Amino acid sequence: MPVKEVVCFWFRRDLRLTDNAGLYYALKSGKPVLPVFIFDTQILDKLEDKKDRRVQFIHQELERLQAELCDLGSALLVKVGKPAEVWQQLITEFSITEVFCNRDYEPEAIERDKGLYTWFEQQGIAFKGFKDQVIFDKQEIVKGDGTPFLVFTPYMKQWKAKLNDFYLKSYPVEKYISGFLHHKPLQVPALAEIGFSKVDVDYPARTFNAKIISHYHETRNFPAVNGTSRLSIHLRFGTISIRELVRFAQMHNETYLNELIWREFFMMVLYFHPHSVNKAIKPKYDQIEWEHNEAHFTAWCAGKTGYPIVDAGMREMNATGYMHNRVRMIVASFLTKHLLIDWRLGEAYFAQKLLDYEQSSNIGGWQWAAGSGCDAAPYFRVFNPITQAEKFDPKNVYIKKWVPEYGTSKYPAPIIDHKFGRERALARYKEALQQ
């Protein structure tokens, strides 16, 4: 075994060198820091589409990180495999005393880290996790009796009351930036080596647009307008710092800040309720008798329901990996209420397609639409896709962009009557909830 002792920083959902909590503590340890990234085959093998826009985004950001580390005389070690097996190999190549990382709150990630913690301990290696992708985590925002919140407004109030400069301070990584292990240049494995191929995609810029965010409360509901920050993919993979973004939101827009708090709320709901991945947070909602209409689900996926705002949203997501947030609510309500199709199917389809797929926000949003989640829309609230389009895309600009055949004989008739769908949903929900 090599004599020189090193510590590792394991990059995961934090692909940046600046204001990175775990990286800061690794560099501050005083030992040379070997940066590591693992393409986890347990995750990659589940992806059916080998032209995955998210894998390509990660790959692109790793190449940027690699260039930044090479400028510092170091290198990012990128491995492909199961994390447990990769670490078993790495401890034979390097004398590793500690492994630093930032915490992940998804159930599978927590299980993975628990297993590794035990294994590292057996090897005499400390495995240290830090809070980085949220402002508050775990028990930091809970009710007076120590139980987690399931309603957003009191959570938000406590979150804002607790917030001060201490929580928003950047981690000064640059002070210790010379602490990386000096290493010969390394290559990031090509996409093809990981089993994926390139796809044409324009990723949103990693910039904070003060003009857009200042007007966010006025523009965020109109899908034809460039009125949202488009930073969700960067938050998802940690190419920007949440602390920096919250400071920016504080200066520019309260409504936008509230959206960042929703993100943390859903993360902590998933952390405290890992069963919500596939079970309703309100158990009675698992008694709803869903329809199993494959033709309806296929039409929804393809954006061919005969409801133009629904179809525009689905086609936008299929083509770009993005869907406007207001439209996400409309299409989710349509699937779960009008078509009475299980929210889990919609959640899984979004998981395949969305560039910014975040398990906690996606499950939180779908359960909200279905009425089964925390702080959910009541079951009798059914979005009317016709009036939603009239209100939020009055000139059909968004609809015409994604459904060019709208208004012609080529556009399909509605696959379900709005009144029938709404009344069936109300009756079916009522029946399940009265049991």
Q: Return the active site residues.
A: 259, 262, 290, 325, 343, 366
The DSSP bridge pattern shows strands 126-130 and 33-40 to be unpaired
How many Cβ atoms sit within 10 Å of the Cβ of residue 200?
Answer: 7
**Residues facing residue 11 across a β-bridge:** 37
H-state helical runs in 227-356: 232-236, 242-252, 254-272, 294-302, 308-320, 325-333, 343-353
Q: Which two tokens stand for residue 112?
A: 């993975």
DSSP string, 29-73: TSSPEEEEEEEEHHHHTT---SS-HHHHHHHHHHHHHHHHHHHTT
Return the SS3 of 162. Answer: helix
Distance CA 346, CA 93 (A): 44
User: What is residue 253's DSSP assignment?
Assistant: -
Q: CA-CA distance, 386 to 86, in Å (whole number)?
A: 52
DSSP secondary structure letters along 358-410: -HHHHHHHHHHHHT-STTPPPTT----HHHHHHHHSTT-HHHHHH-TTTTSTT
Contact 240, 205 (CB under 8 A): no
| 152-110-50 Cα angle (round to 5) | 95
